[in-house]
Structure 1
């Protein structure tokens, strides 16, 4: 169970990949307060050695210690692969830690051909190959690297975003019906992906599933949670950190609806 009336949850990523995850959680539990920890000095995590990624995840979580959060979410696939076990050793059982996994199993269950769009490092990783072997061995799967897409999203360079999407579309066979978003940043541009590949029947992403799992780790049933009292104030983004430094949310979030919503609840005190 949570330790306070208003749950406080921290989110970690190298950059804007945490935005969709924090926003999805806040929409499920509007009274919750949020902490955000990004790591721009060390991104992209896919270029780092696994042990360094684990160190960065722990360092990103360390800034939450004075706040005593009720849970921490690693909103990063690479960070979850290399840092989830290490961070759980540090924080659990007192503070539950929730990781992120691309929705390969969900896509495979749909029984249609699908592509996994991810960073170059993730596409070439044993981790992604293992996911596909474990959950989609009988499916038709196409691994599509998306060089530069995450970086363009973080910079809110929408022309570069569209160029990277177009390059990924060109690498995705026409008959492929669905796409798994294998990088947490990519959900911020779902609308642009669908606009540039309208034949896509489904985009599979994980923010809502992770938000629901986070509620469960807090002892809250996501299907039976009573509504917050009408007079209850909405939760806030209490603090944002950039590689350990306290900072305001960047203006680049205004390029994305989820970012606009987070900026609207940012504590300016």
Structure 2
């Protein structure tokens, strides 16, 4: 087994780069291949069968490139397709992501919790099971944000367009909200706009850190860690294939949240 083989990251577009960044911070010696399916973004408004097919095609590409593990760095794809992908690829670790509802509950004593996610993520049984298991005593406000992924995919996360969208969507949010869970990997790139609207006293959580740490544990448990010590490589691929989307992807990798 060649432990220098890359770790594959898949997302419906550029959002999963927020998870990739955290993984690179924790596992800098690893090699990575990131594949974003921006051609078919967003996934959050598609039916389950379509999401499963597109996710499977993306994972196929990463496995064909020799990846030793795969991270489904997309909440919608995880909700709709993770079980299918794990059944298909039993020989390699497949790590998904879920909204960071548990950390939000454990880190705040009272108040409401606002979950921002795609329509598909919020309706899937995996999210409702998560709410039932970790948030029985807290009031959860579920808010889909259709259209926000498209704004971020166009690189408008730093512009007034994304702020105006969020201001309209979040302007009437209950003032008793104490925590915000970013249930889409695209949304960390507009975190500052969310705080600008809701106030800095609101705590914001996303699943990047938990997913990256779980990846590290699984690789260690399976003796798959790259021994290093050199810093690994990062290859960015995208189904859209335009210079603009690849430039945006590299910018987000450097920018962070």
Per the normalisation by structure 2, the TM-score is 0.86
Deviation digits for residues 40-64 of structure 1, max 9, x if unmatched?
Answer: 2322112222122111111001112
Query: Using the alignment, how far apart are the partners of 2:228 and 2:250 within structure 1?
Result: 28
Can you give the 5+ residue segments of structure 2 that lack an aligned partner in the other structure?
none
- Superposition pairs of residues 1-269 of structure 1, within 5 angstroms: 3-6=1-4, 8-92=6-90, 94-109=91-106, 110-112=108-110, 113-157=112-156, 158-219=159-220, 229=229, 232=230, 234-242=231-239, 250-253=246-249, 256=252, 258-260=253-255
Query: Using the alignment, how far apart are the partners of 1:62 and 1:85 within structure 2?
Result: 15
Query: Using the alignment, how far apart are the partners of 2:197 and 2:58 within structure 1?
Result: 35
Is the 8 Å Cα contact of residues 50 and 82 (structure 1) preserved in structure 2?
Answer: yes
Shift of 1:218: 1.0
Shift of 1:128: 3.4
Is the 8 Å Cα contact of residues 14 and 42 (structure 1) preserved in structure 2?
Answer: yes
Deviation digits for residues 223-245 of structure 1, max 9, x if unmatched?
Answer: xx99954xx2x2121341316x6
Report the count of equivalent residues: 250
Q: Secondary structure at the match of 1:150?
A: helix
Q: Secondary structure at the match of 1:139?
A: coil
Taking a change above 3 Å as real, the CA distance of residues 241 and 150 of structure 1, as seen in their structure-2 partners, is closer
Can you give the 5+ residue segments of structure 1 that lack an aligned partner in the other structure?
262-269
Structure scoring higher RCO (CA < 8 A, sep ≥ 6) equals 2
Shift of 1:186: 0.5
Is the 8 Å Cα contact of residues 46 and 120 (structure 2) preserved in structure 1?
Answer: no
Per the normalisation by structure 1, the TM-score is 0.83
Over the aligned positions, Cα root-mean-square deviation in angstroms equals 2.6
